[in-house]
Chain A
Amino acid sequence: MASASNLAASDHHRNPQRGNRMLIHAVVVVLCAFTIFPFLWMLSTSFKPADEVFTRDLRLVPHAPTWRNFPDAFALFPVAHWFWNSFGIASITTAGKLLISVPAAFAFARLKFRGDKILFAMVLATMIVPGIVTVVPNYILVSNLNWMNTWAGVIVPSLPATAFFVFLLRQNVMMLPQDLIDAARIDGASTFKVLIQIVVPNIKPAIAVVVILSFLGMWNQYLWPLLILNDFESKTLATGMQFFTANVESAQMWGPMMATATIATLPPLILYALAQRQIIDTFVTSGIKG
């Protein structure tokens, strides 16, 4: 992060004692344990046979571990479909959100036009509307459009929830030096060209943030897909998983369910780990400064 000399100079009075640092590490480790412990149980249950799932003793490591739960999960329910649905819906929504928010952010940041302040306020105001408030009318709308059980029914109504991203992107566009844009203009570039060739390449970190947060949000979205995707095969991982244990008249398949949950957790986790640096960089440069 900071250069070595900077570090020496500014941290000289601020570097806590060795002992303090050890203490902090200890506390953080405990916190991390609290945070990931539930994951450990999920992981361990993925490898447990049915009769080891619920036992009186706390068993993190199964006595008779098995890989069966994974293929069983796919055999019991259309898990592969669910995975594909989750992936498709999350990816397309993310792409869609970028398509509508990047141009808008650019317009609000750099272009002056009539009503720009009011329109921006109207966009920001949507952050105040709690999701549940729009559920019933959107549900009616989606069924009128015949989009029940389709990706469109889940994706399109989720697209407008981008005020946060528009805000963030706008911050970043505002940080771009005016010379950059002026130079392009002098060369005769149209506004669109400026957007695509100059602005977008220079706000890549912010776009990375939007991609990750949006993908994550849609991957895990529960209520809306629950209402729209009724057919078994059109469900997503988040909404389909409950069926392993929902039918109380049959065996409760906790092992396969946790196996599915493990699979479901991997893509977002990997995505986040890879992009962690990008996210911090973006907040560092633009911040939430207002």
Chain B
Amino acid sequence: MAVASPGQPALQEVQPTAIKRAWTGYRLTEGLTPYLLIAPLLILIAVFIYWPLIYSAYLSFYDWNFVRPDKTYVGWDNFTRLPDDPRFTRALRGTLIYTVTLVPLQVFLPLGLALLLWPIRKSRAQTRYRIMLFSPTIIAYSVAAVMWLWIFNPLQGILNKVLAEFGAERINWLSDRSTAIWAIIIVATWKTLGFHMLLYLAALESVPKDYIEAASLDGATHWQIMRSIRFPLITPTFFFVLVTTVISVNDDVFGAINVLTDGGPFDSTTNVIYYLYQQGFQFFQIGAASAVAVLMFAATSLLTWVQFRFVERHVHYG
């Protein structure tokens, strides 16, 4: 968008036209310099991200427990074993539930919050609000989980105390298979709320003022402006949040699961990532863990491709 927005770093030379040109002006450079600049990044990515992917794929065809130097080739066994493993089916179920509930919660709810905060964005309290709303994102999962453990405690936790005031029955949040997963979902949502909300707020703020001015001078109402100008212009942010959330949602809950329920009760809060962790680091089945890793990567790539193919067309890039 070719407009100087508020808060832009003070560059004396900035003119609206100059910025337009910024997007189109590339310079051809000689020789190695660009490669030198990107080399460290690429090398690290190759060694610590791409190589592990390939090595995981390789390991998934073996049975290995890490201590013995010898690995036994087992072909597709690690993969075919999965559908027969009740733990894995429960993990799949968990993954599905988390994805279906957390993606809307972490994508739409913060948007709603941002819209809520929008009309009062100029109030003096808003800095304090933002700090408070962002604070869950700042603390470590291990700490957050301990706090929530106490809130969820069935006998003296505050949640049940409040419920008791209303005459409701005591709920065993973390040890009842029907509520435990919701406890995890609540904690995970609580943790990411502030960050996504911040992104949306920033997106709303970055909508160029002249568009808004022009529209309101034409007599558009607040709501009309919101609908036809702001919404479309924050779709890139929305899309970004959507894609990154789908990718990371199951990864995100790992911290909460590990500290609150360890996959329980009775494997009701586990997901594929937790299953991978257990197989690899609690039970020692490196081959099985690698097989799951390969499947995870394939599934995530597919989902991401689907989003780019079918959802991106609705995104308005400036």
Contact = CB atoms under 8 A, between A and B. Distances in A.
A285 to B, nearest CB: 5
Interface residues of B, number: 124
A287 B138 contact: no
Which of A13, A20, A281 has the most CB atoms of chain B within a 10 A radius of its CB? A13
A287 B236 contact: yes
Interface string B109-133: 0000100110110110101011111
Contacts of B92: none
B172 interface: no
B52 A134 contact: yes
B293 A242 contact: no
A104 B135 contact: no
B206 A269 contact: no
Nearest to A278: B7
A205 B132 contact: no
A10 B33 contact: no
Which of A7, A38, A39 has the most CB atoms of chain B within a 10 A radius of its CB? A38
B34 A113 contact: yes
A160 B49 contact: yes
A283 B193 CA distance: 17
Interface in B153-210: 155-156, 158, 161, 190, 193-194, 198-199, 201-203, 205-206, 209
A138 interface: yes
A56 interface: yes
B41 A131 contact: no
Contacts of B69: none
Interface in A168-207: 174-182, 185, 190-192, 195, 202-205
27 contacts: A7-B122, A9-B217, A10-B213, A13-B225, A14-B225, A15-B119, A31-B113, A35-B136, A58-B156, A99-B40, A103-B41, A104-B40, A111-B29, A113-B34, A140-B55, A160-B47, A191-B29, A220-B139, A238-B141, A261-B143, A265-B138, A265-B139, A269-B131, A279-B198, A283-B205, A284-B206, A287-B203
Given A38-B144, A175-B19, 7 more contacts: A126-B49, A157-B48, A160-B49, A220-B140, A227-B281, A242-B142, A280-B202
